[in-house]
Amino acid sequence: MRFIQSAIYERRSWQQRLATLAAVFFIVVIVGSLVVVLLHRQQSNLAGPPPLRSGWTQAAYLSGSGSQAFTHLHITLSTLWGITDGCTGNGNLYIQLDYSFYEIESACPGLTPPSSLVGPGHITLESSTHTLDTIIIQTTASINWYLQLSNANVTPAPVLNHFSAPHSGWTNLGAVGGGYSYDSNGFTRSIVMFELSGPIHDTLNPSGNPIAVYAWAFVSICIGNGGMTIQATPPPQGLTIATAACDGQPHLKIVPYSTLPNNQNVTVIWDKATLGQFYTYACTNTKGCN
């Protein structure tokens, strides 16, 4: 009788254990399903890039969460290429292409316009095509992001080749870009202001001696429905750069400047819903630049 009682007790114990295991398994399945649903909802909140405008094609598309590094990509970027990025969550998204080739930082989440935009979100004009191999994304694990690279179908005139040619005598002081400025008041003009005296001094003359600038060269390019305007203070002789229509082609303006003023400020203004880039070059060769 003791043996029978013991056997019945053990059988009840295994039944209880199986029931407990089944309950635990059921809970795990439910929790796992909820996690999948939540992740799906979180990912679905990240809308993809806007459609590309006519005349542009996608070169690459990446998306993910948190910091990631992509190598051996071999993405070909044309002389006029674009980038569009987006993210959800709270924090900053930092994108680096080929380590120092191109950098961009965005705040997440950004304001969402009431009407959909068209891509790309930023444009870059280069002197030659470029093969992109490395993309580094730095952000927090809670941020979902996407990155789209695109190329213009029409190749712009090779204006920058003139300034990058050996012994041309021109020195590149850098470029600024802008467009798609959107805040609580809606779409606004994108305005960038910078001082040329500082870059000239730091780039060409670290010794501190006076620098004679014999000519400025300004290259501007923009796309979209609108134009861009460049203002210089004080104004160099003959400087008038105002593009009524953004046609996706670079516009060159070379102006004389006998000596570098104490303060030379340049303001670049892009109209609403236009994208653009603006390059500045300086000629310090007494015999002139090619």
**With bands split at pLDDT 50, 70 and 90, how would you rate the model's confidence at 79?**
very high
Contact criterion met (CB below 8 Å) for 139 and 67? yes
- Return the CATH fold of 56-152: Jelly Rolls (2.60.120)
Question: Is 160-283 CATH 2.60.40.1220?
Answer: no
The arrangement of strands across the sheet holding 265-270 comes to 190-195, 265-270, 228-233, 241-243
Q: Has residue 283 got a pLDDT over 50?
A: yes
Q: Do the domains spanning 56-152 and 160-283 agree at the CATH topology level?
A: yes
The reported pLDDT for the residue numbered 236 is 63
**With bands split at pLDDT 50, 70 and 90, how would you rate the model's confidence at 1?**
very low
**R_g (Cα) of the chain, nearest Å:** 29
Could you give the CA distance from residue 102 to residue 8 in angstroms, rounded to a whole number? Answer: 74
Reported as a single tens digit per residue, the pLDDT across 241-266 is 666 678 899 988 887 766 666 667 88
Q: Has residue 36 got a pLDDT over 60?
A: no
Q: Has residue 14 got a pLDDT over 70?
A: no
Domain-wise residue ranges, the chain: 1-44, 56-152, 160-283
The reported pLDDT for the residue numbered 94 is 92
Owner of token pair 């796992």:
32
Average pLDDT for the chain: 77
The reported pLDDT for the residue numbered 101 is 62
Owner of token pair 């980038």:
83
The reported pLDDT for the residue numbered 156 is 92
The reported pLDDT for the residue numbered 153 is 95
**244 vs 21, residue with greater confidence:** 244
Least confident of 54-68, 173-187, 271-285: 173-187
**69 vs 195, residue with greater confidence:** 69
Q: List, as one string, the DSSP characters of 165-230.
A: STT--EEEEEEEEEE-EEETTEEE-EEEEEESHHHHHHHH-TT-------EEEEEEEEEESS-EEE
Mean pLDDT within 142-147: 94
